[in-house]
A and B are shown apart, each in its own frame.
Chain A
Amino acid sequence: DAKTTQPNSMESNEEEPVHLPCNHSTISGTDYIHWYRQLPSQGPEYVIHGLTSNVNNRMASLAIAEDRKSSTLILHRATLRDAAVYYCILRPSNSNSGYALNFGKGTSLLVTP
Protein backbone atom coordinates (compact mmCIF):
# COMPACT_ATOMS: atom_id res chain seq x y z
CA ASP A 1 0.00 0.00 0.00
CA ALA A 2 1.15 3.53 -0.70
CA LYS A 3 2.31 5.36 2.41
CA THR A 4 1.48 8.79 3.76
CA THR A 5 3.64 11.22 5.70
CA GLN A 6 2.18 13.68 8.19
CA PRO A 7 3.72 15.98 10.79
CA ASN A 8 3.62 14.50 14.28
CA SER A 9 1.90 17.51 15.77
CA MET A 10 0.48 20.92 14.97
CA GLU A 11 -0.92 23.72 17.02
CA SER A 12 -3.63 26.22 16.22
CA ASN A 13 -5.51 29.02 17.89
CA GLU A 14 -9.23 28.72 18.36
CA GLU A 15 -11.36 30.23 15.57
CA GLU A 16 -8.44 30.31 13.15
CA PRO A 17 -8.15 28.13 10.02
CA VAL A 18 -6.00 25.01 10.22
CA HIS A 19 -4.20 23.39 7.32
CA LEU A 20 -3.12 19.82 7.96
CA PRO A 21 -0.70 18.53 5.29
CA CYS A 22 -0.22 14.99 4.03
CA ASN A 23 2.38 13.75 1.58
CA HIS A 24 1.70 10.64 -0.48
CA SER A 25 4.27 10.67 -3.26
CA THR A 26 3.72 6.99 -4.20
CA ILE A 27 -0.05 7.30 -4.59
CA SER A 28 -1.53 5.33 -7.47
CA GLY A 29 -4.11 6.67 -9.86
CA THR A 30 -6.92 4.72 -8.24
CA ASP A 31 -6.16 5.50 -4.58
CA TYR A 32 -8.73 7.53 -2.68
CA ILE A 33 -7.43 9.97 -0.06
CA HIS A 34 -9.31 9.59 3.21
CA TRP A 35 -9.10 11.63 6.39
CA TYR A 36 -10.25 10.43 9.78
CA ARG A 37 -9.80 11.88 13.22
CA GLN A 38 -9.86 10.47 16.70
CA LEU A 39 -10.87 12.62 19.63
CA PRO A 40 -9.61 11.61 23.06
CA SER A 41 -11.37 8.53 24.43
CA GLN A 42 -13.51 8.12 21.31
CA GLY A 43 -13.58 5.96 18.22
CA PRO A 44 -12.17 7.24 14.93
CA GLU A 45 -14.47 9.58 13.04
CA TYR A 46 -14.73 9.95 9.27
CA VAL A 47 -13.92 13.48 8.12
CA ILE A 48 -13.71 13.61 4.35
CA HIS A 49 -12.34 11.83 1.30
CA GLY A 50 -11.63 12.48 -2.35
CA LEU A 51 -9.98 11.13 -5.47
CA THR A 52 -8.84 13.98 -7.70
CA SER A 53 -10.96 17.06 -7.14
CA ASN A 54 -11.16 19.23 -4.05
CA VAL A 55 -14.01 18.29 -1.74
CA ASN A 56 -16.04 20.19 0.82
CA ASN A 57 -18.41 18.98 3.49
CA ARG A 58 -19.82 20.37 6.71
CA MET A 59 -16.74 19.37 8.69
CA ALA A 60 -13.85 20.33 6.47
CA SER A 61 -12.38 20.83 3.02
CA LEU A 62 -9.91 18.62 1.23
CA ALA A 63 -7.48 20.21 -1.18
CA ILE A 64 -5.71 17.75 -3.47
CA ALA A 65 -2.59 18.75 -5.38
CA GLU A 66 -2.77 18.54 -9.14
CA ASP A 67 -0.20 15.71 -9.23
CA ARG A 68 -2.02 14.06 -6.27
CA LYS A 69 1.24 13.59 -4.40
CA SER A 70 0.02 15.67 -1.51
CA SER A 71 -3.20 16.87 0.05
CA THR A 72 -4.31 19.27 2.75
CA LEU A 73 -7.18 18.97 5.17
CA ILE A 74 -8.59 22.38 5.96
CA LEU A 75 -10.58 23.16 9.08
CA HIS A 76 -12.01 26.58 8.41
CA ARG A 77 -12.44 27.70 12.01
CA ALA A 78 -10.82 25.51 14.62
CA THR A 79 -12.70 24.92 17.83
CA LEU A 80 -11.55 23.25 21.01
CA ARG A 81 -13.56 20.21 19.93
CA ASP A 82 -11.30 19.82 16.90
CA ALA A 83 -8.37 18.84 19.09
CA ALA A 84 -7.71 15.28 17.94
CA VAL A 85 -5.34 13.02 16.06
CA TYR A 86 -5.90 13.38 12.33
CA TYR A 87 -5.10 10.50 10.01
CA CYS A 88 -4.51 10.73 6.27
CA ILE A 89 -5.06 7.31 4.69
CA LEU A 90 -4.93 6.04 1.12
CA ARG A 91 -7.46 3.44 0.05
CA PRO A 92 -7.34 1.67 -3.30
CA SER A 93 -10.52 1.71 -5.31
CA ASN A 94 -9.92 -1.91 -6.30
CA SER A 95 -8.18 -4.49 -4.21
CA ASN A 96 -8.27 -8.23 -3.77
CA SER A 97 -7.16 -7.94 -0.17
CA GLY A 98 -9.94 -5.84 1.26
CA TYR A 99 -10.06 -2.20 2.08
CA ALA A 100 -9.09 -1.87 5.69
CA LEU A 101 -7.86 1.47 6.90
CA ASN A 102 -4.13 1.53 7.51
CA PHE A 103 -3.77 4.04 10.35
CA GLY A 104 -0.34 5.50 10.79
CA LYS A 105 0.62 7.81 13.62
CA GLY A 106 -1.32 10.80 12.30
CA THR A 107 -1.02 14.43 13.31
CA SER A 108 -1.94 15.43 16.82
CA LEU A 109 -3.70 18.79 16.62
CA LEU A 110 -3.68 21.02 19.66
CA VAL A 111 -6.16 23.90 19.70
CA THR A 112 -5.57 26.67 22.19
CA PRO A 113 -8.13 29.24 23.32
Chain B
Amino acid sequence: DSGVTQTPKHLITATGQRVTLRCSPRSGDLSVYWYQQSLDQGLQFLIQYYNGEERAKGNILERFSAQQFPDLHSELNLSSLELGDSALYFCASSVGWEGAYEQYFGPGTRLTVT
Protein backbone atom coordinates (compact mmCIF):
# COMPACT_ATOMS: atom_id res chain seq x y z
CA ASP B 1 0.00 0.00 0.00
CA SER B 2 1.59 3.24 -1.21
CA GLY B 3 -0.58 5.50 0.93
CA VAL B 4 -2.06 7.19 -2.13
CA THR B 5 -5.79 6.61 -2.56
CA GLN B 6 -7.87 7.02 -5.67
CA THR B 7 -11.61 6.87 -6.16
CA PRO B 8 -13.50 5.41 -7.85
CA LYS B 9 -11.68 2.23 -8.85
CA HIS B 10 -13.84 1.74 -11.90
CA LEU B 11 -15.98 4.12 -13.89
CA ILE B 12 -18.16 3.33 -16.89
CA THR B 13 -19.78 6.19 -18.72
CA ALA B 14 -21.03 7.21 -22.12
CA THR B 15 -19.48 9.42 -24.76
CA GLY B 16 -20.09 13.10 -24.21
CA GLN B 17 -20.33 12.78 -20.46
CA ARG B 18 -18.19 14.36 -17.73
CA VAL B 19 -16.50 12.57 -14.85
CA THR B 20 -14.37 13.49 -11.86
CA LEU B 21 -11.54 11.35 -10.55
CA ARG B 22 -10.28 11.92 -7.03
CA CYS B 23 -6.86 11.45 -5.47
CA SER B 24 -5.63 11.75 -1.90
CA PRO B 25 -1.85 11.95 -1.62
CA ARG B 26 0.29 10.36 1.07
CA SER B 27 0.30 12.20 4.34
CA GLY B 28 2.84 15.01 4.14
CA ASP B 29 3.22 14.95 0.35
CA LEU B 30 2.65 18.32 -1.27
CA SER B 31 3.04 17.38 -4.93
CA VAL B 32 0.43 15.50 -6.94
CA TYR B 33 0.82 14.14 -10.46
CA TRP B 34 -1.74 12.69 -12.84
CA TYR B 35 -0.86 10.09 -15.48
CA GLN B 36 -2.87 8.31 -18.15
CA GLN B 37 -2.13 4.78 -19.29
CA SER B 38 -3.76 3.44 -22.41
CA LEU B 39 -2.86 0.29 -24.30
CA ASP B 40 -1.35 2.06 -27.26
CA GLN B 41 0.27 5.05 -25.53
CA GLY B 42 1.83 3.66 -22.39
CA LEU B 43 2.12 5.87 -19.30
CA GLN B 44 1.72 9.54 -20.18
CA PHE B 45 2.10 12.48 -17.81
CA LEU B 46 -0.89 14.80 -17.74
CA ILE B 47 -0.42 17.47 -15.08
CA GLN B 48 1.33 18.27 -11.79
CA TYR B 49 0.31 20.36 -8.81
CA TYR B 50 2.42 21.45 -5.89
CA ASN B 51 0.80 22.82 -2.75
CA GLY B 52 -2.28 23.94 -4.62
CA GLU B 53 -0.58 25.45 -7.65
CA GLU B 54 -0.17 24.02 -11.12
CA ARG B 55 3.49 23.21 -11.63
CA ALA B 56 3.75 21.47 -14.99
CA LYS B 57 1.60 20.29 -17.86
CA GLY B 58 2.14 17.33 -20.08
CA ASN B 59 -0.05 15.84 -22.78
CA ILE B 60 -3.30 16.98 -21.23
CA LEU B 61 -6.23 17.66 -23.52
CA GLU B 62 -8.17 20.91 -23.25
CA ARG B 63 -11.24 18.84 -22.32
CA PHE B 64 -9.39 17.76 -19.18
CA SER B 65 -8.70 19.90 -16.15
CA ALA B 66 -7.47 19.38 -12.64
CA GLN B 67 -7.06 21.15 -9.36
CA GLN B 68 -5.49 20.61 -5.97
CA PHE B 69 -7.44 21.71 -2.94
CA PRO B 70 -6.20 23.25 0.35
CA ASP B 71 -6.32 19.83 2.02
CA LEU B 72 -3.99 18.69 -0.83
CA HIS B 73 -6.34 16.20 -2.41
CA SER B 74 -6.68 16.56 -6.15
CA GLU B 75 -9.40 16.03 -8.71
CA LEU B 76 -9.08 15.35 -12.41
CA ASN B 77 -12.08 16.42 -14.47
CA LEU B 78 -12.66 14.82 -17.85
CA SER B 79 -15.40 16.27 -20.04
CA SER B 80 -16.95 15.62 -23.46
CA LEU B 81 -15.64 12.10 -23.13
CA GLU B 82 -14.65 10.15 -26.22
CA LEU B 83 -14.07 6.44 -26.72
CA GLY B 84 -10.34 7.12 -26.86
CA ASP B 85 -10.35 8.47 -23.31
CA SER B 86 -10.85 4.95 -22.02
CA ALA B 87 -7.73 4.27 -19.99
CA LEU B 88 -6.25 3.81 -16.57
CA TYR B 89 -5.68 7.08 -14.73
CA PHE B 90 -3.05 7.12 -12.03
CA CYS B 91 -2.33 9.68 -9.41
CA ALA B 92 1.07 9.93 -7.75
CA SER B 93 2.41 12.04 -4.93
CA SER B 94 5.80 13.12 -3.64
CA VAL B 95 7.14 15.23 -0.83
CA GLY B 96 8.73 17.79 -3.10
CA TRP B 97 8.96 18.41 -6.80
CA GLU B 98 12.70 18.12 -7.41
CA GLY B 99 14.33 15.13 -9.04
CA ALA B 100 15.64 13.83 -5.74
CA TYR B 101 12.16 12.84 -4.62
CA GLU B 102 10.47 9.60 -5.54
CA GLN B 103 6.81 9.36 -6.50
CA TYR B 104 4.27 7.02 -4.96
CA PHE B 105 1.39 5.87 -7.11
CA GLY B 106 -2.19 5.08 -6.30
CA PRO B 107 -4.01 1.97 -7.57
CA GLY B 108 -5.60 3.90 -10.41
CA THR B 109 -9.07 4.52 -11.77
CA ARG B 110 -10.13 2.48 -14.78
CA LEU B 111 -12.31 4.58 -17.04
CA THR B 112 -14.39 2.94 -19.72
CA VAL B 113 -16.23 5.17 -22.17
CA THR B 114 -18.94 3.42 -24.17
Contact = CB atoms under 8 A, between A and B. Distances in A.
Interface of A: 30-32, 34, 36, 38, 42-46, 49, 51, 91-95, 97-105
Contact of A101 (B45, B55, B100): B45
A99 B48 contact: yes
Contacts of B64: none
A32 to B, nearest CB: 4
Contact of B107 (A43, A97, A98): A43
B105 A43 contact: yes
Nearest to B56: A98
A62 B45 CA distance: 25
A32 B99 contact: yes
Contact of A94 (B35, B92, B98): B98
Interface string B19-58: 0000000000000010100000011110010000001111
Given A30-B99, A43-B2, A93-B99, A100 B105 contact: no
Given A43-B2, A43-B90, A92 B99 contact: yes
Nearest to A33: B99
Task: Report, nearest first, the 6 A-B pairs whose CB atoms are least far apart.
Answer: A98-B56, A91-B99, A100-B45, A43-B105, A103-B43, A32-B99
A84 B105 CA distance: 15
A45 B105 contact: yes
Which of A42, A98, A101 gathers most chain B CB within 10 Å?
A98
Nearest to B4: A43
B99 A31 contact: yes
Given A43-B108, A103-B44, 16 more contacts: A31-B99, A42-B107, A43-B2, A43-B105, A44-B92, A44-B105, A46-B105, A49-B100, A51-B100, A93-B98, A100-B33, A100-B45, A101-B35, A101-B43, A101-B45, A101-B103
